[in-house]
Amino acid sequence: MLFLADVDGCLAEPYRPYNLDVLRRVAEAIRVPGHPPFALLTGRAYGYAEAFAQLLGLTAPAFFEAGAGAFLLPEARTVWHPAVTDDALAALDEVRRWFFAELLPAVPGLVFDHGKRAQVGVIGPDVRQVQEASARTRRFVDDLGAPLTVFETHVSVDVLVHGLTKGDALDWIAELTGTPVDRMAFIGDSEGDVGALRCVGFPYAPANATAAVQAVAETMPQPLAEGVLEAYVCYAKLR
């Protein structure tokens, strides 16, 4: 068994202080003897995923950039999905250059999401600006004709290599962890999580998840980290 959790919109809210009391209770539940391994599957960059894994005291891998990379905590080693090729990185470089030359000057309330290798993105707290950036980015990527995928949340626009979404990463995660996909659980809250939720055997959503997510997952009564804790305890009882 393996429980995978998104971070933004699940364990934490972007631009808001962490609920340390709830995260402490999540960490305590993870350490209960017999409970399944708890891992991260987030679109965030490596450094953030490593820090959050340390906060929770995890020993299972932290999968970052939507599963393009994995930080193996006991070994302190990072490995990359086989789809992270030179050609894929070159296509992302085109988008990165366009972000700085065209998108960010046109939508000045957003900032570049630094620290990522296998995806590029912009972030900001204004939903309307994020939506505008998403529309502009989708047009550019369509015109570019590269094998890339655009995902939007309420605080970010991310461009990923096609075939490197969270759902696509699950087979690789299964190889690394030895857990079949149909025995995995995943909790997510937004558009980029739907593919993975449709693949795992035990899909969960916190109460704050979008309607599209709730349509494919068992929705917990509580939002955010409280919902993650509820889902993890439910999954642990299935052992």
pTM of the model: 0.86
Question: Nearest Cα to 186, choosing from 154, 234, 221?
Answer: 234
pLDDT of residue 208: 97
pLDDT of residue 74: 84
Domains and CATH numbers, the chain: 2-82+164-236 (3.40.50.1000), 86-161 (3.90.1070.10)
d(CA 23, CA 41): 16
Where would I find the beta strands (DSSP E) of the chain?
A: 2-5, 38-41, 62-64, 69-72, 77-80, 111-112, 119-123, 148-152, 156-161, 184-187, 202-205, 218-219
pLDDT of residue 41: 98
pLDDT of residue 174: 97
The mean of the pLDDT values for the chain is: 94
230-to-32, 176, 222, 225 alpha-carbon distances in Å: 14, 26, 8, 9
Q: How many other C-beta atoms are found inside a 10 Å radius of the C-beta of residue 156?
A: 22
Question: Nearest Cα to 38, choosing from 76, 78, 79, 73?
Answer: 73
Ranking 96-105, 151-160, 165-174, 199-208 by mean pLDDT, the lowest is: 151-160
**What digits encode the pLDDT tens for the residues 19-69?**
999 999 999 999 999 999 999 999 899 999 999 999 999 999 999 999 999
- In the predicted model, is pLDDT for residue 73 greater than 90? no
pLDDT of residue 165: 87
**SS3 of 83, please?**
coil
- Cβ atoms of 91 and 146 closer than 8 Å: yes
Question: Nearest Cα to 43, choosing from 24, 13, 67, 62?
Answer: 67
Single-letter amino acid, residue 115: G
pLDDT of residue 81: 94
**What digits encode the pLDDT tens for the residues 180-193?**
999 999 999 998 89
Mean pLDDT, residues 203-226? 97
Q: 138: part of which helix (H) or strand (E)?
A: helix 127-144
